[in-house]
Amino acid sequence: MRNLDVELSAVAAAAAVLAGVGMSPVAHASTYGPELNGTYTVTSNGDWAKTNDVYIDEATVRSTWTISSTCSGPTSCTGQVTSDQGWTAPLRFTEDRWLLDRVIDNWEPCPNGTAAPGYQKYMFWGVDADGQMDPHSNVLAGTDVTHGDSGACGINKPLVIRLPLRVQKVS
């Protein structure tokens, strides 16, 4: 009886080894969510900018971001963006989009020579070739919105500039 147990154990071990031969690991972008990791080209398109809801051309801004992120669930991811423009900011994913908030010192020039800060929010999500949401795409679309405080520079109306955004993975 004892020899039979040893033989069965040996057969089971051999079967397990043979089952794993020739199998390569499957690559997954993430265990949970649509993680972003790598280098991305980012374009905020000034040709379609809106200033306080009126189309007014702004400068198109192109930059390179290095993004690292991890997900703890399908709709819960965090990370960090480092821009070649000299800033770093936290990144988070909630429900269906990536969000990045940062403060820009001296963003809104005031008539008295001072300047007020701007509050920039990038919102973007993966899209397919037809512009439909695709959380695992290497091309993302969204908006780059910067606003000042109401009352800044003595004006009781916030300055708000909204630009279309494209984020594309380079490497």
**Are residues 52 and 159 in contact, defined by beta-carbon separation less than 8 angstroms?**
yes
Tally: H helices and E strands in the chain: 1, 10
Domain assignment of residue 99, yes or no? yes
Domain assignment of residue 2, yes or no? no
Higher pLDDT: 97 or 12? It is 97
Domain assignment of residue 12, yes or no? no
Domain assignment of residue 52, yes or no? yes
Provide the percentage of residues in the chain whose pLDDT is more than 90: 69
| 100/102 Cα distance (integer angstroms) | 7
Domain assignment of residue 160, yes or no? yes
Whole-number pLDDT of residue 32: 65
Domain assignment of residue 8, yes or no? no
Give the pLDDT mean for 129-149.
Answer: 93
Whole-number pLDDT of residue 95: 83
What integer best gives the mean pLDDT of the chain? 84
Whole-number pLDDT of residue 34: 82
Domain assignment of residue 126, yes or no? yes
Domain assignment of residue 145, yes or no? yes
| DSSP state string for 55-122 | E-----EEEEEEEEEEEEETTEEEEEEEETTS-EEEEEEETTEEEEEEEEEEEEE-TTS-EEEEEEEE
How many domains, in total, are found in the chain? 1
**Are residues 99 and 79 in contact, defined by beta-carbon separation less than 8 angstroms?**
no
Provide the percentage of residues in the chain whose pLDDT is more than 70: 81
Indicate the range of 37-41, 79-83, 128-132, 163-167 predicted with least confidence.
128-132
CA distance from start to end of the chain: 60
Give the pLDDT mean for 98-118.
Answer: 96
Summarised one tens digit per residue, pLDDT across range 44-101 is 999 999 999 999 999 999 999 999 999 988 888 999 999 999 999 999 998 889 999 9
The range of the structural domain enclosing residue 163 comes to: 38-169
Whole-number pLDDT of residue 31: 60
Q: What angle do CA 88, 92, 143 make, to 5 degrees?
A: 80
**Are residues 65 and 39 in contact, defined by beta-carbon separation less than 8 angstroms?**
yes
Confidence check: pLDDT of 165 > 50: yes
